[in-house]
Amino acid sequence: MSIGYSAKVMEHFLQPHNMGEIADADGIGEVGNPVCGDVMRLMIKVEDEKITDIKFQTFGCGAAIATSSMVTELVKGKTLDEAEQISNQAVIKALGGLPPAKIHCSVLAEEALQAAIADYRSKHPAEPAVTES
């Protein structure tokens, strides 16, 4: 049943990592693809500009679940700036590839992460630097 999918994709589909909900999330990103019907919701907890916890809820195909799971693994423990640099290509590489028809799932995972970080930053604007006069 793994036609075109790597062992890593199958692992993250069959046993997703960090699936669930963070009730008091600091940032939430929700994205969807109207063509295929996939919907991803990513929640992050942030302390000292670091992602200390991340969970996802995804309604979609196996590739959507696997990319959601992998993006959580890639960013947990990273700073927000580091997490923002993680692209859909990094997700694809970490999963050992995706069939061309499923690349859009990795884009959704990247967009959900970006949306969660943007949501966090909108609620926690950067403090202006204090200068001594």
Enzyme catalytic residues: 36, 105
Beta strands in 27-127 (DSSP E): 27-32, 39-47, 50-59
CB atoms inside a 10 Å sphere around CB 57? 15
